[in-house]
Each structure stands twice: as structure tokens, then as C-alpha cells.
């Protein structure tokens, strides 16, 4: 039983580390702020949650210690990290950071079409 739980928590920790690694590669490789933020907020959130779940299972099954703070940390990361990503993205869009030149869809552009304050900047352009 202990060996099985060690294997499961080891797998979860490895999966979390690999997901964080993939997220960091995404931040390096993707072309603009929005896609980079997409990679960072999604990949790193799931990676950190897997890591914490692995740690929680290890301490529960091997050490016999129920650590509720780690569970709270999982819930907290799940709750706050996407919101942080959303706020960064919106701040970027509102300060007229341009989309990737091959982007095909900009729904906010159409939504803000009547508002000169939001559409007057030349750097945001439709495809």
C-alpha cells in the first residue's frame, strides 16, 4: 500500500513538474502576450495543483499526516491563478498591446466598435 501511494504521488509530482516545464516552454515560444499568458496561466495552474496533490497524498499515506493547508492551497491556486491571468490579459488589451499578426478573431474589437476611446489606436488592427 505504501509503495503504491509512493508511486502515485511520485507520478503526480512528475506530472506537475512536466506541466510547469511545458508552460515555461510555452511562455518562451508563443508569439504574443495573450498566447503566452494562456500557456502560463493554464499549464502552471494544473502543474502546481498536481504537485500539491502529490505532496498531500505522500504525507497522508506515507507519513499518516492529513495536511489540510495543502488542500486549501490547491483550492486557492485553482481559484486565483486564472483570475490573475484574466486581469493581466485585460490590462494588456486595455493598454493596446497588439495581437499576433496572424490572429483571426478579435471579438472585443467588434464589441467596442462604437467607442472611439477603445478603437482609435492604430496598433490594434483587424486581420
Q: Which is nearer to other proteins, 17 or 71 (CB)?
A: 71
Q: Which is nearer to other proteins, 69 or 125 (CB)?
A: 69
Could you list the residues that contact other proteins (CB under 8 A)? Answer: 69, 72, 75-76, 79-80, 83, 86-87, 90, 94-95, 117-118
Q: Nearest-CA neighbor of 45 among 4, 90, 6, 75? A: 75
Three-state secondary structure string covering 29-73: HCCCHHHHHHHHHHHHHHHHHHHHHHHHHHHHHCCCCCCHHHHHH
Q: How far is the CB of 86 from other proteins (least distance, A)?
A: 6
Q: Which is nearer to other proteins, 17 or 60 (CB)?
A: 60
Amino acid at each position: 500500500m505504501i509503495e503504491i501511494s509512493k508511486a502515485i504521488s511520485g507520478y503526480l509530482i512528475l506530472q506537475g513538474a512536466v506541466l510547469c516545464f511545458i508552460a515555461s516552454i510555452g511562455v518562451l515560444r508563443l508569439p504574443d502576450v495573450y498566447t503566452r499568458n494562456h500557456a502560463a496561466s493554464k499549464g502552471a495552474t494544473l502543474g502546481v495543483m498536481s504537485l500539491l496533490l502529490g505532496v498531500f497524498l505522500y504525507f497522508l499515506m506515507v507519513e499518516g499526516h492529513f495536511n489540510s493547508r495543502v488542500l486549501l492551497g490547491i483550492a486557492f491556486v485553482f481559484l486565483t491563478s486564472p483570475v490573475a491571468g484574466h486581469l493581466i490579459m485585460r490590462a494588456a488589451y486595455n493598454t493596446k498591446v497588439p495581437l499576433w499578426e496572424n490572429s483571426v478573431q478579435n471579438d472585443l474589437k467588434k464589441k467596442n466598435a462604437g467607442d472611439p476611446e477603445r478603437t482609435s489606436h492604430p496598433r490594434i488592427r483587424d486581420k
